[in-house]
């Protein structure tokens, strides 16, 4: 069994190939090592989510290919298929509102037929316990806080022991304090099992604090502009934010993103 190395090779995605084509991805290539915490930053609408959806198997590529541990996930002519080895945590949260937190968390292993109901329940309760969510196991998602929901969603994803965890701006709508807690928690989960993480955000502090590598994307069509190695020690904690090393990375990242954001802005002006 592989460890979750993702190779994106010349990935191209064109929406509406016939009419006014929108090129979302244009020959985007990246190699993500197994167990790497990879964070993508870039201007809004640059194609980050398109790339995530292609890795997740939600839509097909127009050109190029994506490999997971050497096996082709998606390429033109091969219809994309989602799989439990790559779990997505969505921007707006996608816990099923009609299931309790516990039922949500056991959904994956039961749907795959990987665990018997008793076993799934036991594992799920353990998982919720370690995430500090045992108190809400029998609540519906609508009745718990957004921070808890997001944690429960990550718990639901981790129950499948995915090789890859795909997160699309999962903490976007959170206030600063809740966000801090969510980071701490996500890193704990990551340090425990080291899945490959593919994380999209606009928040540069979040990006550097979490990542092993930050990938700065260009404006649409998206390609990788710059890769920053974040060799800050793990486990990470908030004292790092004050270190000169962090500040330097932050600066470098900021400049790269700013350049692209400006390009996107002037391009937008021209389109007007």
Partner 1 sequence: MIRLAINRQLKKIAKTVRSKTLRRGVISIAGFFIIWELCARFKVPVLGTVPSPTEVLRCLADQITEAYYWHSWGSSMVRILTGFAIAQLLGVPLGLLLGFSRKAREIIFPLIELMRPVPPLAWVPVSVIFWPSAEMSMIFVTFLGAFFTVVLNIVEGIAAIDERYLRAASSLGAGKSDIFWHVMLPASLPSVLVGMTVGMGITWCVVVAAEMIATNTGLGYLTWRGYVAGEFPMIVVGMLSIGLAGYLSSGLIRRIGLIFTPWLESR
Contact positions vs partner 1 (CB under 8 A): 56-58, 82-84, 86-88, 90, 92, 94, 96-99, 107-108, 111-112, 140-143, 156, 160
Structure tokens belonging to residue 33: 């090592």
Phi, psi of 151 (to 5 degrees): -65, -45
Q: How far is the CB of 120 from partner 1 (least distance, A)?
A: 12
Shortest approach of partner 1 to residue 106 CB, angstroms?
A: 10
Q: Which residues contact 202 (CB under 8 A, 6 or more apart)?
A: 41, 44, 169, 172
Closest approach of partner 1 to the CB of residue 223, in Å: 25
Structure tokens at 203: 């928040």
Nearest residue (CB) to partner 1, 81 versus 192: 81
Nearer to partner 1, 156 or 183 (CB): 156
With CA atoms as reference, report the closest residue to 28 among 44, 51, 5, 45.
51
**Distance of alpha carbon 94 from alpha carbon 88, whole angstroms:** 9
Please state the closest distance from residue 26 (CB atom) to partner 1, in A: 25
- The nearer residue to partner 1, 115 or 224, going by C-beta atoms, is 115
Q: Is the CB of 96 or the CB of 238 nearer to partner 1?
A: 96
Cα–Cα distance measured from residue 151 to residue 217, given in angstroms and rounded to the nearest whole number: 27
């Amino acid at each position: 069994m592989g460890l979750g190395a993702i190779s994106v090779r010349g990935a191209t995605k064109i929406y509406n190939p016939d009419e006014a084509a929108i090129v979302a991805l244009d020959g985007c290539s990246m190699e993500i090592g197994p167990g790497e915490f990879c964070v993508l930053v870039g201007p809004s609408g640059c194609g980050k989510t398109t790339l995530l959806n292609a890795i997740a198997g939600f839509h097909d590529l127009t050109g190029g290919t994506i490999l997971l541990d050497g096996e082709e996930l998606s390429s033109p002519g091969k219809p994309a298929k989602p799989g439990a080895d790559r779990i997505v945590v969505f921007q707006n949260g996608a816990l099923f509102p009609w299931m309790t937190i516990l039922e949500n968390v056991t959904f994956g292993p039961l749907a795959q037929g990987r665990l018997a109901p008793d076993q799934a329940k036991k594992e799920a309760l353990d998982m919720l316990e370690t995430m500090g969510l045992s108190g809400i196991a029998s609540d519906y998602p609508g009745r718990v806080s957004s921070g808890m929901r997001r944690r429960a969603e990550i718990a639901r994803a981790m129950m499948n022991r995915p090789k890859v965890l795909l997160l699309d701006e999962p903490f976007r709508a959170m206030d600063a304090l809740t966000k801090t807690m969510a980071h701490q928690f996500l890193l704990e989960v990551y340090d425990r099992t080291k899945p490959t993480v593919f994380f999209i955000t606009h928040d540069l502090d979040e990006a550097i604090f979490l990542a092993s590598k930050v990938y700065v994307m260009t404006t649409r069509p998206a390609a990788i502009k710059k890769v920053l190695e974040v060799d800050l020690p793990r486990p990470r904690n908030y004292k790092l934010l004050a270190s000169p090393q962090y500040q330097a990375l932050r600066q470098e990242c900021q400049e790269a993103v700013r350049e692209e954001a400006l390009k996107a802005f002037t391009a937008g002006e021209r389109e007007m």
